[in-house]
Structure 1
Amino acid sequence: MILDDFIAFNTNGLYCRYADFYLDPQQPVSNAVISHAHADHAVSGNINVYTTPATYAFMQLRYGKGAAKTSRMAAYHSPFTVGDVQITFIPAGHMPGSAQVLMEYKGTRYLYTGDYKLQPDATCEPYQFVKADVLITESTFADPGTAHPNPVAEIKKLNDIKINILLGAYSLGKSQRLIRMINEHAPQKKILVHHRIMPVNAIYQKMGFELGDHQVYGRKLMKTQEEWVYIVPPFTFESYIRATGVKRLFASGWKNLQVNSQDTLFISDHADWNDIIKTIEQTGPQQIWTLHGNGTHLKNYFNNRIFVKLLN
């Protein structure tokens, strides 16, 4: 039997009262199940955290001792229990260690996707489909008008830009994907990386995700026009708003973050409309609960063929 209140929002985030834990809480809590290490899903200061090993490694890098008082790490497909709920981490394809959270309680399977994507990505574990009675899906791009372009075709655009490029990207996940793809599909480019991104790259390398050639930024290097691509985090990108002699690009799935109308770089780490529909078809849920976006389009699309509940 599906419990309508199996998870629900309160002031700290998404809570399972049947086992006293939160999924990606927004405030520090006693028991937190963390889907992945991005800051909007993994806050510091929790007492107990349940994560994949990769997620906790990134949290330690970012938060140090504040990552959690106690960590309980589980590999993919290795069930563990919190209270009376059995939990299994399933690859989500968003970044290394990102996990869907399969929760089984009294014979019913609830699957929380966290952030996920189906597009191929050599810098993380690929998304894996799993059956569930309830699919709790992110709906960031759950709009029939949204279709993410082929990321390889997007990266190949860089081949036509013959001057140095200042490329803005999030430090964890996006930057590493870009480094790998530039090496593969724009190999004549020389990649420079902001110093704050390098420790993240080191964790990737330790986990066996090869990124390819890159080096830490040096001021003198960018003064030569040798088709450098300098990858920087958002705060640095904004500080270089008046930079001259470079093409400014920001890699994102969001149109409002594209800063150059002539040269856009639409590369998203989330599922678009078609991939969300495919995930629903492969998961085969009786109900869909939506998060992190507008679930109205899904509700209209399924038109009572599958019950859709908007959690936010």
Structure 2
Amino acid sequence: MILDDFITITPTGLYCVYGDFYLDPQQPVKEAVVSHAHGDHAVGGSQNVYCTAATESFMKHRYRKFAAVDFHAKKYHETFKISEVAITFYAAGHILGSAQVLMEYQGVRYLYTGDYKIEPDSSCEPFEFVQADVLITESTFANPETKHPSPIDEIKKLNETNSNIMLGSYALGKSQRIIQLLNEYCPTKNVMVHHSIMPFVKIYEDYGIKIGNYKMYDRKVMKNNHEHQVYLVPPMVFHSYHKAINVVRAFASGWKNLQQQNGISLYISDHADWAAILETIEKVKPEQVWTLHGDGKQLKEYFEGRLEVKILN
């Protein structure tokens, strides 16, 4: 029997009362199961953190000695228990080390996706479809009007200008994917990386991911070469240099509002769009879908009378 209160939303985050642990808590807790290392899912200071090895590495870089009291790194497909709940990680395809969390209790399988995408991306482990009774899915882009374009077609847009480009990108996950895409599809571009992104690039390489060619940002190179330079910067730097001269601005994101007032729109998302969410539901074959991290109303309307959809947020 599916337990309606198996996962509940609290001010601290998603709580499983039957295992007495939190999924991606927003405050330090005793037992934290962390799907991936982005700051809106992984905070420092918890006593016990269960995650993949890559997520542990990213968290230790970001939070240093305050990352956690103890880490319990688990491999994909390795089952472990917290109290009476059996937990197994499966690749989520979002960033390196990102995991879906399968929780089994009293014969019922609850699958928490965390953030995910199902399209190919050689900078991280590919998404795995896992059957479950309850699919707890992110719904960031759960809108029938949202269809993410091909990332290859998007990155090739940068070939349409010879001018230098300031490219905004999240430091962890998106930047490493963008460096790979630039190397493969924009071979005339010289890729330079902001210093705050470099440690995450190095961690990717430590885990065997071939990022491609890049260099630490050099102001002189950018100043003396007015063509073919791509300077990859984190969002804070991108937004603080909104009047940067002699560069074309672009920001790699699925959000439309981040494409405004840029010279080039660059719709590259690391989240599932509407079609991908529907495909995931079809292959997971759940009896119920619970939605998080977005608006699940349109999914609820789409499946009305066919599948129970519960909006948790």
The Cα of 1:226 is off from its aligned counterpart by 3.2
Q: Which residue is 1:32 aligned to?
A: 32
> Per-residue deviation at 1:11?
1.7
Hey, what does 1:48 align to over in structure 2?
Answer: 48
Query: 1:120: Cα distance to partner?
Result: 1.1
Residue 292 of structure 2: aligned partner? 291
Letter in 2 for 1:283: V
Q: How does 1:1-312 map to 2 (within 5 A)?
A: 1-223=1-223, 224-260=225-261, 262-312=263-313
Residue type of the partner of 1:203? I
State the 1:261 CA deviation.
5.4
Q: CA deviation at 1:8?
A: 0.3
Q: CA deviation at 1:119?
A: 1.5
**CA distance in structure 1 between the aligned counterparts of 2:37 and 2:18, rounded to whole angstroms:** 25
User: CA-to-partner distance for each residue in 1:6-54, whole Å, 9 max, x for gaps?
Assistant: 0101121100000100000111111000000000000111111000000
**Aligned residue type for 2:233:** V
> Under a length normalisation based on structure 1, what TM-score does the superposition of the two structures give?
0.99
Letter paired with 1:288: V
Query: What is the Cα deviation at residue 262 of structure 1?
Result: 5.0
1:228-281: per-residue Cα shift (whole Å, max 9, x none)? Answer: 000000111112111111001111000000134552000000000000000000
Partner SS for 1:47: strand
**Cα separation, 2, equivalents of 1:139 and 1:225:** 41
For the residue of structure 2 that corresponds to 1:50, the secondary structure is: strand
> Counterpart of 1:135 in 2: which secondary structure?
strand
| 1:229 aligned counterpart, secondary structure | strand
Amino acid at match of 2:181: M
Q: Is the 8 A contact 1:12 1:26 kept in 2?
A: yes
Q: Deviations over 1:87-134 (max 9, x none)?
A: 000000000000000000010000000000011111000000000000
User: Where does structure 2 lack aligned partners over 5 or more consecutive residues?
Assistant: none
Q: CA separation in 2, counterparts of 1:286 and 1:238?
A: 44
Contact in 2 for aligned 1:149/1:267 (Cα 8 Å): yes
Whether the 8 Å CA contact 1:250–1:259 is kept in 2: the answer is no
Deviation readout 1:61-105 (Å, 9 max, x if unpaired): 000111100111100000000000000000000000000000000
- Residue by residue over 1:136-162, the C-alpha shift from the partner in whole angstroms, topping out at 9 and shown as x without a partner, is 000000000100000000000011011
The CA distance in 2 between the partners of 1:82 and 1:72, in whole Å, is: 11
Cα root mean square deviation, aligned: 0.8
Aligned counterparts of 2:154 and 2:238: Cα–Cα separation in 1: 20
Residues 142 and 273 of structure 2 are in contact (CA less than 8 Å); yes or no, is this contact kept in structure 1?
yes
Measured in 2, the distance between the counterparts of 1:243 and 1:81 equals 52
SS of corresponding position for 2:46: coil
Contact preservation (8 Å) 1:249, 1:260: no
Write the distance in 1 (CA, Å) between the matches of 2:62 and 2:11: 24
Cα deviation for residue 188 of structure 1 reads 0.7
8 A Cα contact 2:48 2:69, kept in partner? yes
The percentage of counterpart residues that share the same residue type is 59
Q: Is the 8 A contact 2:249 2:263 kept in 1?
A: no
Q: Which runs of 4+ in 1 moved over 2 A?
A: 259-262
After TM superposition, the structure 1 stretch with the greater mean CA deviation from structure 2, 82-91 or 254-263, is 254-263
SS at match of 2:250: strand
Q: Distance in 1 between matches of 2:215 and 2:53?
A: 27
The letter of the residue matching 2:95 is M
- Structure 1 stretch displaced more, 54-63 or 237-246: 237-246
Kept in 2: contact 1:248–1:259 (CA 8 A): no
- 2:117·2:272 contact (CA, 8 Å) conserved in 1? yes
The alignment covers a number of residue pairs equal to 312
SS of corresponding position for 2:111: strand
**Structure 2 Cα separation of the partners of residues 219 and 88 of structure 1:** 46
How far apart in 2 are the matches of 1:206 and 1:226?
Answer: 32
CA distance in 2, matches of 1:296, 1:272: 15
Paired residue secondary structure (2:182): helix
The 2-side partners of 1:259 and 1:197 are apart by 24
2:133–2:288 CA contact under 8 A, matched in 1 = yes
Letter in 1 for 2:288: Q
